[in-house]
Structure 1
Amino acid sequence: MLMIKDALDLEIHIDKSSGWPYRDVLKLAESFQLPAGRGNVTVFKYPQNHGLRVAWFDSWRPRDLDEHAVIIEDDLQLSPEWYSWLKRAWISYGHRSDLAGIALSRQYMMVKKPEYDYEILNNGEPFLYRLVGTWGFSPHPARWSQMLNWFYSIDHDNFDPYVPGLITSDWLHIHNRQGRRHMTWEQWHIYHSNKHGLFTLYQNLPNRHVLLNNWREAGVHSRTSPNRPDYPLVKGSCPIQLQSFPSRLNKYDWDARTLVR
Structure 2
Amino acid sequence: MALLKSHLLPLLLFSLSALLFLSSFFYLSSPHPNPNPNLTLRPQNPDFTFIIKLLAYNRLDSLSRCLRSLAAADYLSDRVHLHVHIDHFALADADDADRKLRESRRILDLVDAFEWRFGEKLVHYRTANVGLQAQWLEAWWPSSDHEFAFVVEDDLEVSPLYYKFLKNLIVNYYYNASNSRPYIYGASLQRPRFVPGKHGNKLKVDDRTRLFLYQLVGTWGQLLFPKPWKEFRLWYDKHKAKGIKPFLDGMVTTGWYKKIGEKIWTPWFIKFVHTRGYFNIYTNFLHERALSVSHRDAGVNYGKTAGPDSHILDESSLEPKFWNTLPLGDLKWYDFCFREIFPERVIGSLDELGSVLNSVQTNNTVIIVSLFGVKEMVVSNLLCQFESLNLRNYILTGPESEFLFDLARRGHPVIITNRFLESVGAYKLLSVHNSYVQLISEILVKVYVLQKCLESRYSSWVVDGNMLPVSADPFVVESDPSYDFYIGTSPELFFARASSSAQKDVGGTDFISNFAMLVNSLLVRQQSVSFGYVMAKFLEMKKSARVNTLDETSFGLRVDNSIVNQSLGDGKKIVFWPSDMASEIVQKRLQEIDIWVINDDSSCKAIVCHQS
TM-score (norm 1): 0.90
Please give the alpha-carbon distance, in whole angstroms, between the structure 1 residues aligned to 2:200 and 2:129.
31
1:57 aligns with 2:141: no
Alpha-carbon contact 1:109-1:115 (below 8 Å) kept = no
Please give the alpha-carbon distance, in whole angstroms, between the structure 1 residues aligned to 2:276 and 2:163.
28
Give the match for residue 235 of structure 1.
Answer: 314
Change (3 A) 1:207 1:156: farther
Q: CA deviation at 1:230?
A: 1.1
Change (3 A) 1:23 1:60: same
Please give the alpha-carbon distance, in whole angstroms, between the structure 2 residues aligned to 1:48 and 1:32.
24
Q: CA deviation at 1:122?
A: 5.9
Aligned residue among 83, 92, 98 for 1:11: 83
Give the match for residue 172 of structure 1.
Answer: 257
Give the match for residue 112 of structure 2.
Answer: 30
Please give the alpha-carbon distance, in whole angstroms, between the structure 1 residues aligned to 2:333 and 2:191.
16
Please give the alpha-carbon distance, in whole angstroms, between the structure 2 residues aligned to 1:232 and 1:168.
26
Letter in 1 for 2:150: V
Summarize the alignment of residues 33-112 of structure 1 with structure 2, pairs less than 5 Å apart.
Answer: 33-35=115-117, 38-94=118-174, 95-112=180-197
Larger Rg: 2
**SS of structure 1 residue aligned to 2:281:** strand
Letter in 1 for 2:333: K
- Identify the structure with the greater helix proportion: 2
Unaligned runs of at least 5 residues, structure 1: 176-180
Letter in 2 for 1:134: T
Alpha-carbon contact 1:101-1:138 (below 8 Å) kept = yes
Alpha-carbon contact 1:111-1:255 (below 8 Å) kept = yes
Change (3 A) 1:119 1:28: farther
Please give the alpha-carbon distance, in whole angstroms, between the structure 2 residues aligned to 1:157 and 1:19.
37
Q: CA deviation at 1:159?
A: 1.3
Change (3 A) 1:132 1:105: same
Please give the alpha-carbon distance, in whole angstroms, between the structure 2 residues aligned to 1:55 and 1:115.
30
TM-score (norm 2): 0.40
Letter in 1 for 2:308: P
Q: CA deviation at 1:152?
A: 1.6
Change (3 A) 1:157 1:79: farther
Change (3 A) 1:96 1:190: same
Please give the alpha-carbon distance, in whole angstroms, between the structure 2 residues aligned to 1:50 and 1:125.
37
Letter in 1 for 2:253: T
Alpha-carbon contact 1:113-1:166 (below 8 Å) kept = yes
Change (3 A) 1:155 1:210: closer
Unaligned runs of at least 5 residues, structure 2: 1-73, 90-99, 175-179, 344-612
Give the match for residue 245 of structure 2.
Answer: 160
Aligned residue among 194, 198, 207 for 1:113: 198
Identity %: 27
Please give the alpha-carbon distance, in whole angstroms, between the structure 2 residues aligned to 1:117 and 1:98.
24
Summarize the alignment of residues 184-203 of structure 1 with structure 2, pairs less than 5 Å apart.
Answer: 184-203=264-283
Aligned residue among 279, 282, 286 for 1:206: 286
1:252 aligns with 2:366: no
Give the match for residue 102 of structure 2.
Answer: 20
Change (3 A) 1:137 1:63: same
Change (3 A) 1:118 1:7: same
Give the match for residue 21 of structure 2.
Answer: none
Q: CA deviation at 1:260?
A: 3.1
Query: Which region of structure 1 is more displaced relative to structure 2, 217-226 or 66-75?
Result: 217-226
Give the match for residue 2 of structure 1.
Answer: 75
Please give the alpha-carbon distance, in whole angstroms, between the structure 1 residues aligned to 2:294 and 2:206.
20
Please give the alpha-carbon distance, in whole angstroms, between the structure 2 residues aligned to 1:172 and 1:156.
18
Q: CA deviation at 1:3?
A: 2.0
Please give the alpha-carbon distance, in whole angstroms, between the structure 2 residues aligned to 1:92 and 1:122.
22
Q: CA deviation at 1:121?
A: 4.3
Give the match for residue 217 of structure 2.
Answer: 132
Change (3 A) 1:196 1:65: same
**SS of structure 2 residue aligned to 1:123:** coil
Measured against aligned partners, the alpha-carbon deviations of 1:109-159 in whole angstroms (never above 9, x if no partner) come to: 111113686343462321100111111111111000110012123335831
Please give the alpha-carbon distance, in whole angstroms, between the structure 1 residues aligned to 2:138 and 2:283.
27
Q: CA deviation at 1:11?
A: 0.5
Please give the alpha-carbon distance, in whole angstroms, between the structure 2 residues aligned to 1:244 and 1:154.
40
Please give the alpha-carbon distance, in whole angstroms, between the structure 2 residues aligned to 1:204 and 1:156.
38
1:142 aligns with 2:215: no
Please give the alpha-carbon distance, in whole angstroms, between the structure 1 residues aligned to 2:293 and 2:239.
34
Please give the alpha-carbon distance, in whole angstroms, between the structure 2 residues aligned to 1:117 and 1:183.
28
Q: How many residues in Structure 1 have an aligned counterpart in Structure 2?
A: 252
Please give the alpha-carbon distance, in whole angstroms, between the structure 2 residues aligned to 1:239 and 1:20.
46
Measured against aligned partners, the alpha-carbon deviations of 1:11-69 in whole angstroms (never above 9, x if no partner) come to: 0011112243322111111122212xx21101100111101111001111111111111
Please give the alpha-carbon distance, in whole angstroms, between the structure 2 residues aligned to 1:93 and 1:233.
24
Please give the alpha-carbon distance, in whole angstroms, between the structure 2 residues aligned to 1:133 and 1:53.
14
Please give the alpha-carbon distance, in whole angstroms, between the structure 1 residues aligned to 2:320 and 2:263.
38
1:215 aligns with 2:295: yes
Give the match for residue 352 of structure 2.
Answer: none
Please give the alpha-carbon distance, in whole angstroms, between the structure 2 residues aligned to 1:46 and 1:71.
18
- Backbone CA RMSD of aligned residues: 1.8
Please give the alpha-carbon distance, in whole angstroms, between the structure 1 residues aligned to 2:312 and 2:243.
40
Q: CA deviation at 1:195?
A: 0.9
Query: Which region of structure 1 is more displaced relative to structure 2, 116-125 or 41-50?
Result: 116-125
